[in-house]
Amino acid sequence: MINSYRPTTVEEALQLIHQKRCHIFAGGTDLMIRKRQWQGAERKFTQPVVFINGIDSLKNIEETDTHYIIGALVTQTEMAESHLPEYIRVPYAQMSHPAIRNIATVGGNIVNAASVADSIPILLALDAEVTLQSVEGERTIPLGAFILGKYKTVRKDNELLTYIHIPKKNYNAYYYKKIGQRKASILSKVSVFIVHHKLDEIAITIGAVNPMVIRSVQLEKQFIKDHSIPDLIQGFKAILSGVNDKRSTKDYRETVAINMIKTYLEGVINEL
């Protein structure tokens, strides 16, 4: 017999996950699939399940002078329909399909930490930080430090991801392209996200190629200085390590990632 709990406050949830190792259940769109065994049979949950979607305080998008603060339980639909900048809204609007977007949460996508998770390239490029809370305290760390690898994070069992902080920047243009095996409702086989302000400030991430999202602040800085696309491409090529799998090939992922970055930035430079 597996117990399940429906806390309505963060404190309640923290107590529960402190006492015992639990499955934290937000939208459940990853969890339900991972735990399935046979349609009509129970999911193979081995720990108590804590349904956190009753915690209303984590469902808001707020704003300070410097940051957007996103509650972990904000859904993808709410992100897509929010007043956030377009370069945040559009990627969320392209995830999965409406039924899933209506329940899938921002926090779930991050904590799940799949290599194909579409929000991570965006949040990483935007220097987002995440807040983790437990009965023992609270810490806010950069997203890059939170994710250790494919499906691996530094979250401790008794910690709840509560907020995502996205710094406000004065980016005035962006490029986002997610490529899947078809046009919609599909996981990424490669994605590229670029946000920039002219060529004074730029962030570039590549998703779904390496086990972890690729971002190189060093290459970005160099590019701001020299505007050299060949050097930038050379730099990225050295860190790409795609794989052949059921969805695509190493060659395709790497070539297309490079093609996209190159084509977009050539366009930007031409316009300058």
Partner 1 sequence: MKITDHVKRLDVKEKINGSLRYIEDMRFDDLHYARTLRSTIPKGKIISIEYPPPEKGITIVDASDVCHKNEVAMILKDMPIFAEDTVNYIGEPISLIVGKDKNQIISFINKIKVNYEIFEPTLTMEDSQSKGDILTEHTFSLGSFENLEYDERFERTYETGYQEQLYMEKQGVVGAMEDGVVTVYGSMQCPYYVLNALKYALNKEAHEVRVIQAPTGGAFGGKEEYPSLLALQVAVATMKLNKPVRLVFDRREDMAFTTKRHPSKSYIKTYIKDKKIVGMDYEIHLDAGPYLGLSDVVLQRAIFTMNGCYGFENSRVNGKTFKTNNVFTGAFRGFGAPQSMYALELHMNQLANYLNVDPIEFRKDYFVHKGETTSTGGIFNEDIYLEEMADALIALSQMHHRKEEKHIGYGVSFIPHGGGFTGDGEAVHIKAEVHLKKVKENIYILISNVEMGQGAITALSKIVASVLDIDIERVLYAIPDTFKVPDSGPTVASRTTMVVGGLLAKAAEKMKARMDEEEVLIVEHFKQPDYVVWNQEKLHGNAYMAYSWSAIMARVHVDPVTYEVTCTDIYGVYDVGIPIDEKLLLGQIHGGVIQGLGYGMLERMTSEGGQIQHHSFSNYVIPTTEDIPNIHAKWIENRFVDGPFGAKSVGELTLVGVAPAIASAIEDAIKKEIHSIPVTPEKILEAIHEN
Ligand X SMILES: Cc1cc2nc3c(=O)[nH]c(=O)nc-3n(C[C@H](O)[C@H](O)[C@H](O)COP(=O)(O)OP(=O)(O)OC[C@H]3O[C@@H](n4cnc5c(N)ncnc54)[C@H](O)[C@@H]3O)c2cc1C
Q: Which residues make up the interface to ligand X (CB under 6 A)?
A: 23-31, 33, 52, 72, 95-96, 100, 104-105, 107-109, 111-112, 117-118, 160-161, 187
Q: Does 247 bind partner 1 (CB under 8 A)?
A: yes
Task: For 95-172, list the strands marked E by DSSP.
Answer: 129-134, 137-142, 147-149, 152-153, 160-167
Q: How far is the CB of 99 from partner 1 (least distance, A)?
A: 13
The answer to whether residue 233 forms part of the interface with partner 1 (CB under 8 A) is no
> Which of 25, 30, 190, 214 is closest to 116 using CA atoms?
190
Asked if 181 touches partner 1 (CB under 8 A), the answer is yes
In whole angstroms, give the CA distance from residue 170 to residue 192: 20
Q: Which does 25 bind (CB under 5 to 8 A by kind): ligand X, partner 1, none?
A: ligand X
The H or E element containing residue 68 is strand 67-71
Burial class (CB in 10 A: 0-12, 13-18, 19+), 224: middle
Q: Verify binding: residue 1, partner 1, rule CB under 8 A.
A: no
Closest CA to 163 of 267, 74, 43: 74
Q: Which residues, numbered 70-99, are part of the site for partner 1 (CB under 8 A)?
A: none
When asked if residue 41 is in the footprint of partner 1 (CB under 8 A), the reply is yes
Q: Which does 29 bind (CB under 5 to 8 A by kind): partner 1, ligand X, none?
A: ligand X
Are the CB atoms for 125 and 215 separated by under 8 Å? yes
What residue 112 binds from ligand X, partner 1, none (CB within 5 to 8 A, per partner kind)?
A: ligand X
* Residue 179 sits in the site that holds partner 1 (CB under 8 A): yes
Q: Smallest gap, in angstroms, from Cβ of residue 213 to ligand X?
A: 11
The answer to whether the CB of 69 falls within 8 A of the CB of 79 is no
Closest residue to ligand X, based on beta-carbon distance = 108
CB of 251 to partner 1, least distance (A): 7
Return the bridge partners of 161, or none.
132
Q: Is the dihedral of CA 158, 29, 54, 23 positive or negative?
A: negative
Instruction: Work out which of 187, 212, 224, 229 binds partner 1, going by CB under 8 A.
Output: 187
Binds 230: which of partner 1, ligand X, none (CB < 5-8 Å by kind): none
177 binds, among partner 1, ligand X, none (CB under 5 to 8 A by kind): partner 1
Cβ neighbors of 241 (< 8 A, separation 6 or more) are 209, 210, 250
By the rule CB under 8 A, 4 interacts with partner 1: no
Give the C-alpha distances (Å, rounded to integers) separating 262 from 33, 192, 230, 249.
Answer: 37, 11, 8, 20
> How does DSSP classify residue 197?
E
Contact between 35 and partner 1 by CB under 8 A: the answer reads no
Binding site for partner 1 (CB under 8 A): 37-42, 177, 179-187, 246-249, 251-252, 255-256, 259-260, 263
